[in-house]
Structure 1
Amino acid sequence: MKHFGTLALLFFLILSSSCKEKNRKVYKPQSLGAINTVAVVMESHLWESEVGDKVREHFASPIVGMPWEEPLFSIDYMPQRVFTGTTRHRRAVLFVSLDSLNVAHIKTDLYATPQKIAVIKGTDRQELIDNIEQNANQIIASFRNTEIAEAQERFKRSLNKDKALEEKFGIKLNFPSLFKVGKQEDNFVWIDMEIPKGTMNIIAYEMPGNSFETDSTFVMDIVRMRDSIGERYIPGPDIPDRVTYMITEKAFAPYVFAATIGDKKAAEVRGIWEVKGYPMAGPFLTYIINDKENNRKMVLEGFTFAPATNKRDYMFELEAIMKTVRFN
């Protein structure tokens, strides 16, 4: 019996130790990397071939709705031998290699957190190209979602506590304390932040719930809405004998996509704004949110004024802010 009791105690201690090991969290370092930057890991003979061309075609493609071409991601290329140590802690990684396997998948938090590593393998170059072509959209969406979440975490460190949006529209946004509420009207709130050479801006207003009911005129109706809001609330420079205000650029129609924001269906609109009667322009991103509970369309728009400056990262931050919207 004494021997049996000793064995039982030993079994209990082993079981207890095993449970502790399972419950112990494995520490992973904080991921590294600039926002909207992807580390591309592959051998140089692939990077300099049509495989690298296919990567650049998708991951460095021009963003729609920008005044000039800017890439979707900045790409940091590195050969496999460099992908060691802290280099493995990059937040967004695309790993491409020849292998006996033909696979494409995304790994989460493999070496650091948050982290997405997209792995593409193939037995020859054509299989690699096919896998990139077939999986690029899913990988890009995963990278962008991670980057949006990272941007939102960064500006959570110092949030503006102004309640103008909540009091006027019953919505909340997380935006950095450097943004200030600059204008409030009956159906309009304008928040902006100074940046080098210009400003980042967010505006909010409501439209009736039955707006945009005709699909055939949807884009024209959006342009008409933006132009009327610009005329009423967003003046341009004070020029003698001229009336200047923000409008939608006339040369190109904006791009429209289906979206979900604040757990509600929405239209995402990307395009270029300009000032009527004055040479000023820049990109805008608008969300027209279907708020059925309040019988309205809630409109959030971010736009940037920054002459002769790349605007991708400014617009990305505005997108990250608007995607924090919550409805009371």
Structure 2
Amino acid sequence: MKALYSVLFCVLLLACGENKEDNSIYLPESNGILNSISVVVDNQLWEGSVGENIRNIFAAPLNGLPVDEPIFIMRQIPPQVFDGFATRSRIVLKIEKGGTEATTKIANEVFSKPQTVAVVRGKTNQDIIAQLKQTKDKIIDAFNKEEVKERQRQINLSLLEDEAMENKLGFTINVPFGYRISKATEDFFWLRKNLDNSKTIELMIYEIPLETISKGDSTIVDFVKMRNGVTKTKIPGEDGIFMEVQGDYAPALFNTIIDNKPAYEVRGIWRMNGFTMAGPFITYLIEDKINNRYLVGDGYVYAPSLEKRDYVFELESIIKSITIK
């Protein structure tokens, strides 16, 4: 039975990889909490060096949080019980030891839909570990895209009416109901969502000229200067208090794509100058060459005593829904 199941898995994996549009095979709906990986791996491998490397890669601290929280949470499933309901996880990492060639394959809609499955295979433990290290960025990116799609699906069930903001800045964005627009000008919008008491998730949408941010070694310096200027002038506090990028925590800068356009992703920590408040921020600067601007989606969280990864992920999913008109 186990051999038959392995053959079926290989057939499905190849079919999904070669023809993603083939919907002739019925697949059940996937499930699972956001950013949770089902790791299908033998107990002995999980408890040894292979499992240690899996945890070091996929449960590494997420960039830009004040307290360490993992990129993903993980649930280990022995291969012999990976059947039925267990196969419906939305993101799956499957480790296979054996064969002659070390490979990593990523496929969609293998056991359920939507779903992303990464299969890492190696003849020895060292082969598997080498594959994990070589392809970790590709696997994490594939899993992240799947989870962003799921969060966006949830968001789209009930949306904020924000057409006035979209028309003024020439874009569309899907913001969930529960946010409110606290400030609106011709080129700056400030949205807020209350969590409880004074805890909030906040999102700024604005535009800056392309020449504001130089490409190269000074990109992050230009970004910090720009963001500090925006928060100081657009959302100042009382008695000269204002938000700024925390100077002793260097923001992390990444290149990405949003709406098929180059974009910068910046993750870091903000603080209040003159008051004891701080938290994580996530900013995307989307290059809009036609309009000679960066359209900026800039979100931040104030939630002391609460874990913040999921709130930052919500902001990421909202901003990644942007399309420029």
SS in 2 for 1:259: strand
Bigger Rg, which one: 1
What's 1:253 paired with? 250
Q: Is the 8 A contact 1:202 1:300 kept in 2?
A: yes
What's 1:3 paired with? none
Q: Is the 8 A contact 2:212 2:226 kept in 1?
A: no
Identity %: 35
Change (3 A) 1:101 1:31: farther
CA distance in 1, matches of 2:32, 2:60: 20
SS in 2 for 1:186: coil
SS in 1 for 2:240: coil
Q: Deviations over 1:52-73 (max 9, x none)?
A: 0110111111111111111110
SS in 2 for 1:235: coil
Aligned length: 302
Q: Deviations over 1:210-237 (max 9, x none)?
A: 222363432222111111111112234x
Q: Is the 8 A contact 2:90 2:116 kept in 1?
A: yes
| 1:152 equivalent in alignment to 2:152 | yes
Q: Is the 8 A contact 1:31 1:114 kept in 2?
A: yes
Q: How does 1:193-232 map to 2 (within 5 A)?
A: 193-196=193-196, 198-213=199-214, 215-232=216-233
What's 1:72 paired with? 71
SS in 2 for 1:278: coil
SS in 2 for 1:246: strand
Q: 1:101 offset after TM fit, Å? A: 4.1
CA distance in 2, matches of 1:226, 1:282: 15
Change (3 A) 1:94 1:216: closer
CA distance in 1, matches of 2:221, 2:23: 57
What's 2:320 paired with? 323
| 1:243 equivalent in alignment to 2:240 | yes
What's 1:188 paired with? 188
Q: Is the 8 A contact 1:91 1:113 kept in 2?
A: yes
Q: 1:162 offset after TM fit, Å? A: 1.9
Tell me which moved more, 294-303 or 274-283.
294-303
Runs (4+) of structure 1 exceeding 4 A deviation are none
Q: Deviations over 1:251-296 (max 9, x none)?
A: 1221111122122212111110111111111111111222111122
CA distance in 2, matches of 1:184, 1:262: 24
What's 2:291 paired with? 294
Q: Is the 8 A contact 2:28 2:112 kept in 1?
A: yes
TM-score, structure 1 normalization = 0.88
Q: Deviations over 1:90-113 (max 9, x none)?
A: 011111122224332122111100
Change (3 A) 1:265 1:232: same
What's 1:89 paired with? 88
Q: Which ranges of structure 2 fall in alignment gaps of 5 or more residues?
A: 1-21
Superposition CA RMSD, Å: 1.6
Q: Deviations over 1:4-34 (max 9, x none)?
A: xxxxxxxxxxxxxxxxxxx983221110100
CA distance in 1, matches of 2:317, 2:260: 15
Q: Which ranges of structure 1 fall in alignment gaps of 5 or more residues?
A: 1-22
CA distance in 2, matches of 1:193, 1:220: 29
Q: How does 1:1-328 map to 2 (within 5 A)?
A: 25-102=24-101, 103-196=103-196, 198-213=199-214, 215-236=216-237, 238=238, 242-328=239-325
SS in 1 for 2:120: strand
Q: Is the 8 A contact 2:214 2:222 kept in 1?
A: no
CA distance in 1, matches of 2:211, 2:236: 28
Q: Is the 8 A contact 1:256 1:269 kept in 2?
A: yes
Q: Is the 8 A contact 1:164 1:189 kept in 2?
A: no
SS in 2 for 1:158: coil
